Structure 1
Amino acid sequence: MSTHSSKRTTVDVVIIGAGPAGAVAAALLRKAGRSVLVLERQHFPRFSIGESLLPQSMAYLEEAGMLRAVVEAGFQYKNGAHFVYRDQSSAFDFRDKHSPGWGTTYQVERAVFDDILIRCAAEQGADVRFGHTVRAVHTGATPLVDVIDEADHAYQIEARFVFDASGFGRVLPRLLNLEAPTRMPTRAAIFTHVQDGIPAGMTDRNKICVATHPEHRDVWFWMIPLAGGRSSVGCVAEASFLDVPDAERDAKLRALIQQEPTLNRLIGNAPFLMPVRHIGGYAANVERLHGPGYALLGNAGEFLDPVFSSGVTIALRSAHLAVQTLNRHLDGEQVDWSAAYDVPLRKGIDTFRAFVERWYSGALQDIIFYPEQTPSIRRMISAVLAGYAWDETNPYVADPVRRLNALHEVCMQR
């Protein structure tokens, strides 16, 4: 890991942000022989939310040469999702799905997971600089990046291309004024980790538990069992529903957990391992995911909602697609970034969006808890929940809005 700075460095690709999208992009670019500089404002390991991975992301970790390190880290194994609402329950096993590919993955503490990925990228030759903040990006055929380190040393990097993988930091959308209105309502989450102490067999630790509030169908909880007897637990709702002074946040989350019968039984009084945190206004969007000399990866471009844990999968998918496109570009091809990157990436995001919107309207909940599910349709839904939102052999990917609406009508005719 490098700490030096000089007046002007030249590199093939500058990547802003060392999270999963940045790390995987860096490793894939190194595989193609590109010189890569990763600039990260924070120091790792650092806390991050988004602990439940989807199986689709495993293929990208494998291709980036990171799979073994992730497997050997001892994270909690994950094979599906378990949904509960009042006395209704529906579990999906991601190995039983329409799309080919991985059916299992992990539930991870992101501080450890993200640190593993960026270290793998550094081992593959990426120059990674922590505590370095991007102050300006001059876009164009040869982008220039203005950087300052913690000792207040300012320097410039000349790159052939810039990837923004800064996540919620959204560096380029802010610097270049790319923000666009999101179609998602303003929601927020409050969350913590608990020492869950759940006796063996009382719950399936191999699945994320997504629980709907018994009185408010647009309010939901996650419980993500982690290794070592911990769980991540949080509540997502319209921002105003969770709006309490900082000092009352712990009590608010505790009260909400105790209102949901399943979570109350499992972790109603489990001790909180850190003060309850709040994240709000996270739904974000941009006019386009690329411009002269740059592209936006993962959450720097668009973030929908945490309900189906799609964030890391979209981030890794975007890294993979962007690197494929950039390699052609750097090899001198005339590349249409919109057709090669923007449109195909948004196809999967739009699939997730159709599911997210119907989760909050209640329609997808009606589908998930419908008692007479057809096995083949269930496998198609399972595939999307497992992250396979780009597999257009799946009707619920090829035409998600129409298919989900038709399926919901069938469920309502019972």
Structure 2
Amino acid sequence: MRTETTDVLIVGAGPAGSVAAAFLRRQGRSVMMLEREQFPRFSIGESLLPQSMEYIEAAGLLRDVVEAGFQYKNGAAFAWGERRTEFDFRDKFSTGWGTTYQVQRARFDEVLAHGARRLGADLRFRHEVTAMTPHPESPGVTARSPEGEDYAVQARFVLDASGFGRTLPRLLALEQPSNFPARGAIFTHVEDRIPVGEFDREKILITVHPEHVDVWFWLIPFSNGRCSLGVVARTDYLAQFEGSEMERLQAIVAGVPSLSTLLRDAAWGVMPVRQIVGYASNVKSLWGPGFALLGNAGEFLDPVFSSGVTIAFKSAQLATDAIARTYAGEAVDWEAEYAKPLRDGVDTFRAFVEAWYAGTFQNIIFHPDPPVDVRNKICSILAGYAWDKSNPYVADTKRRLGVLEELCAPR
């Protein structure tokens, strides 16, 4: 079996892998990216957060994204029965980008991957990693080409950016259950045909079910007149609805007057309706001898605040910074310098997700007269700035969120 060598091998060419590859190429490292699928391919996670733009810009991929023609996004709107509220991300507490895009992930991921290739990464589609041998200085993998040929790759580092494929967690028995209850999502794209003026296409719309506070819907407008539409709920709730996936989703949407009215003229069937169940995941460790797990390959919380791509980019930045320090001759503590700072931000998102499903976060964001400074600090986290510890709701998330929950609780 032939053996190839590279400085860094990246498993997967999704957002985490492509941004990591771009960062590494800017460091002068040789990079090989092995992607199991052929791009373009469908993926969910279509509404970006402004924080993600900082990583795209720093990686040298900003022009690629800006010129792709995606839907401009400046915030998030929320609906719950007759109540409405919205956050303009430009009004956030943290400094940095306040706008971003809503993207068809097939196109977005392809743009990033080809941007990494433009910067010099060796990008190979339909190459699958089938085995991995950890080693602190020379980890190795076995890969299989589209023609079925097995070959070995020896690297200085391996970064797993395989997303929900979770390649290294499977191969190295690192997977462990998430502590979140089992939820599922049913979703599709529709040609929405929403009349001008009825819908702000520059914001994602999150709609809370009028009777079930833990059931919610996303509506993500794209630049081509279509929307991504999905519902997230406990699996026992979704199981109540019968028929095809499309019939089930249509029936669930019909139970929410504001959303069904908005989509009254929508054309369905432009894309198959899909379902995923039990998507929350976790691992025993985010790193090991010669490897690290990026983005969803390590942990996935929940889609409610669109944090997945931002977490993926943050993990790519932290891991490649650690690699740069290693090549500079420094001793790197991967737990202290990669895993812990990454999890700090993830835990901020986690607290918000837990409050959302408890129904207490809804009381906060729909409060009729919130203090502007508090609202701007919450807005920062919704915009993805979950690592900005100058924000007290990042530095002390659970306690401060708990105080807000008590103050905003119905009397």
TM range (shorter): over 0.9
CA distance in 1, matches of 2:22, 2:240: 42
One-letter code aligned to 1:88: R
The one of 8, 23, 27 equivalent to 2:18 is 23
Counterpart check, 1:75 vs 2:70:
yes
SS at match of 1:147: strand
Structure 1 residues 247 and 43, CA gap change in structure 2 (3 angstroms): farther
Using the size of structure 1 for normalisation, the TM-score is: 0.97
Q: When the two structures are aligned, how many residues end up with a matched partner? A: 409
Distance apart, 1:243 and its partner CA: 3.0
2:242–2:248 CA contact under 8 A, matched in 1: no
Report the Cα offset of residue 215 of structure 1.
1.1
Q: CA deviation at 1:75?
A: 0.7
Q: CA deviation at 1:206?
A: 0.4
Q: Percent identity?
A: 58
Structure 2 CA distance for aligned equivalents of residues 244 and 257 of structure 1: 14
Asked if the contact 2:193/2:267 (under 8 Å) is kept, the reply is no
**Structure 1 residue 412 displacement after superposition:** 2.0
Give the aligned partner of residue 208 of structure 1. Answer: 204
Query: What TM-score results when the alignment is normalised by the length of structure 2?
Result: 0.98
Alignment partner of 1:240 is 2:236: yes
User: What does 1:164-313 correspond to in 2, within 5 Å?
Assistant: 164-243=160-239, 248-272=244-268, 273-313=270-310
Aligned 8 A contact 2:360 2:409 in 1: no
Q: Displacement of 1:247 after TM fit?
A: 5.3
Q: Secondary structure of the residue that 1:221 maps to in structure 2?
A: strand
Question: Is 1:383 paired with 2:356?
Answer: no
* Residue in structure 2 matched with residue 3 of structure 1 by the alignment: none
CA distance in 1: counterparts of 2:324 and 2:46, whole angstroms? 30
Moved more, 382-391 or 173-182: 173-182
Distance verdict in 2 for CA 1:146–1:246, change over 3 Å? farther
Aligned to 1:57: 52
Moved more, 263-272 or 58-67: 263-272
Q: What secondary structure is seen at the aligned counterpart in 1 of 2:276? A: strand
The residue that corresponds to 2:114 in the other structure is 119
Which of 363, 374, 391 lines up with 1:394 in the alignment?
391
Deviation at 1:150, TM superposition (A): 1.6
Report the alpha carbon displacement of residue 220 of structure 1 after superposing the two structures with TM: 0.2
Counterpart selection for 1:108 from 89, 97, 103: 103
SS at match of 1:295: strand
1:328-407 equivalences under 5 Å are 328-407=325-404
1:294-318 superposed Cα distances (whole Å, 9 cap, x missing partner):
0000000000000000000000010
The residue type equivalent to 1:164 in the other structure is D
- The answer to whether the 8 A contact 1:254-1:268 is kept is no
Contact 2:194 2:266 (C-alpha < 8 Å) held by counterparts = no
1:260, CA displacement in angstroms? 1.3
Is residue 257–residue 268 contact of structure 1 (8 Å, CA) maintained in 2? no
Q: CA deviation at 1:331?
A: 2.8
SS in 2 for 1:95: helix
Q: Which runs of 5+ in 2 are unaligned?
A: none
Bigger shift: residues 272-281 or 50-59? 272-281
Tell me by how many angstroms 1:372 deviates.
1.2
Q: Which one of the candidate residues 314, 318, 322 is aligned to 1:317? A: 314
Offset at residue 409 of structure 1 (A): 0.7
State the superposition RMSD in angstroms.
1.2
Residue 155 of structure 1 corresponds to 151
Q: CA deviation at 1:181?
A: 2.4
What's the CA shift string for 1:335-382, capped at 9, x where partnerless? 100110000000000000000000000000010111010000000000
- Cα separation, 2, equivalents of 1:318 and 1:222: 25
1:132 and 2:135 equivalent?
no
CA contact (8 A) 1:258 1:268 kept: no
Structure 1, gaps ≥5 residues long: 1-5
- Tell me by how many angstroms 1:332 deviates: 2.6
The question of whether the paired residues in 2 share the 8 Å contact of 1:52 and 1:108 is answered with yes
**Which segment drifts farther, 140-149 or 352-361?**
140-149
Give structure 1 regions of 4+ aligned residues with deviation exceeding 4 angstroms.
Answer: 244-247
